Amino acid sequence: MTMRFLAKSIGVFAVLAVASAEISQGDAHHSASMFDLMRNEVLKGKVVEVRWVNPHVSLIVRGTHKSGEAPSDWLMETTSPGNLTRIGAWQREAIKPGDEVEVLFHPLREGGKKHGLLRQLTLLATGDVFATNVRTQETAGLE
């Protein structure tokens, strides 16, 4: 009886430990604190890949960030597919590999990595603009 109780107790503690680890990782993953929200930068280039998945839609854009630099791959994160769809213009097939784009983004606080929080994407061929700020859409009709 004591051995069975001990085994069950260890099992319960193991499940709680795993669950708490997953919760803390999830909280950290959804934070935007790794981005410098006070800085806006621009990247011009070509979309290499679009990942339309939860919890964040992301794009890889091969482009140049500063004049005279060689093109390189940048990872741009956005919000969830559901949030982007609610904003309006965003749809799964709206942005495709090969599209020439200009991206306004918040860079990482940690320099040297090519990763940003996408704020606005413009398709250069059509001029279509895709914003990612859900709050702007929520407050647009409140004036």
CB-based contacts of 86, cutoff 8 Å, min separation 6? 134, 137
CATH class of 41-139: mainly beta
Q: How far is CA 96 from CA 2, 4, 31, 43, in A?
A: 61, 57, 27, 17
Q: What is the chain's pLDDT, residue by residue, as a tens digit (143 residues)? A: 566 655 565 654 544 444 444 444 444 455 678 899 899 999 999 999 999 999 999 999 999 988 888 999 999 999 889 888 888 778 889 999 999 999 999 999 987 789 999 999 999 999 999 988 766 555 455 44
**What is the rounded distance in angstroms from the CA atom of residue 129 to the CA atom of residue 51?**
19
Q: What is the pTM of this model?
A: 0.72
